[in-house]
Amino acid sequence: MSLQRILLEDLTGLLRHRRRELGLTQKQMGQMLGIDQRTVSSLEKNPGSISVKRLFIVMEALQVGVFVSTDARDAQAIPSRSNALDSMYKNSRAA
C-alpha cells in the first residue's frame, strides 16, 4: 500500500493518469459511472466542481483508496503529492 497526501488541485493529474493507467477512455469511464464522456472530461479538468460523494465514486471506479484522518501526525507521516505523484508518473513511464 502506498499512501500519498494530495491537494484538490492535484486530483486533475491523478484522475487522468489513473484512468489511462487502467487503459480506459473517457467514454468507457463514463459508461462505468453512468455519465457521458463530456462529464468525465469536465471532472478531469476541474475535480473541485463535483460533490464529495461523486468524487468517492470516481476514486472507487479508478481503484484508488481514500484515507481520511483528523490526526495531524498522519499528515506528517504521509509523503506529499509532489514527491509521491512525481515518483508514480516516473515509474509508469519506465514500465
What is the number of helices (H) and of strands (E) in the chain?
A: 6, 0
Could you identify the residue written with the cell 512525481?
A: 86
Spatial CA neighbour of 67 closest among 87, 42, 84, 91: 84
In this structure, the number of other CB atoms found within 10 A of the CB of residue 16 comes to: 17
**CATH numbers and ranges of domains, the chain:** 8-94 (1.10.260.40)
For the full predicted model, state whether its pTM sits above 0.85. no
Three-state DSSP class for 80? strand
DSSP helix/strand/coil, 5: strand
Q: Of the candidates 50, 28, 45, which has an alpha carbon nearest to the alpha carbon of residue 37?
A: 28
Alpha helices in 34-80 (DSSP H): 37-45, 52-61, 72-77
pLDDT by residue for the chain (95 residues), tens digit each?
Answer: 566 666 667 777 888 888 999 999 999 999 999 999 999 998 888 877 778 888 888 888 888 877 766 676 666 666 655 444 455 545 545 54
